[in-house]
Amino acid sequence: MQTHIPVLQLIWTRTADGSYTAMDPEGTMWSIDRHPTVPSRQNHDGSPDWRAKWWLHSSLTDEDPETHGLCPIVTSEPWTALHRHPEVLRYADVLAAGWRDQCWQIPNGTPMSDKVMGRGEQRAPLSALLGTPVLVHPQLLLDEVLKSGRLEGRVRAAEQALRAAGLSLPDAKGR
């Protein structure tokens, strides 16, 4: 079982222009800046979103505006004072540690699902990375185990039916 150590909490400082900066232990400077989305990341279906969003930038990226296309969004909320929203700064810590939103969620027994984050081949629930893992209701876990068991049973039954019919089993590519 793979466990994830919570992400280090950076010390974010508000600058005179209203953005936020922090330095990680490796000496990389991070900033959270508010600006519109660059044209390369706009919806190309005729409905561009020019609202300003909060973006995470690192000192390792070039000052070229097009590098904003590679930077993650910390929040799309119109807030001007992120220090009043510590959960947003904490999310920036996760992004600065190299984790990215995988655009799916897992149920956790609460009204809100837990966002799944990824870094390379690793996957982790956001709550675990923040150091506040949400305990999953035992019934949800049992339901998942039972569902998995049913699916494995169906696969075994299909394999047996193929063998009984004298057919070969498909390979990993489905052939």
pLDDT number for residue 67: 63
HSE toward the beta carbon, residue 108, CA cutoff 13 A: 18
| Other Cβ atoms closer than 10 A to 117 | 25
- 23-45 pLDDT tens trace: 999 999 999 999 887 767 666 67
Cα angle 61, 6, 73 (rounded to 5 degrees) comes to 35
The Cα–Cα gap between 106 and 127 comes to 11
- Cα–Cα distances in angstroms (integers) from residue 3 to residues 112, 122, 125, 129, 139, in the given order: 22, 10, 10, 10, 22
User: How do the pLDDT tens digits run along the chain, 175 residues long?
Assistant: 456 678 999 999 999 999 999 999 999 999 999 988 776 766 667 777 788 899 999 876 656 655 656 789 999 999 999 999 999 999 999 999 999 999 888 877 777 788 999 999 999 999 889 988 877 776 776 777 788 888 888 888 988 998 899 988 887 666 6
DSSP SS3 for 32: strand
- 155-167 pLDDT tens trace: 889 889 988 999 8
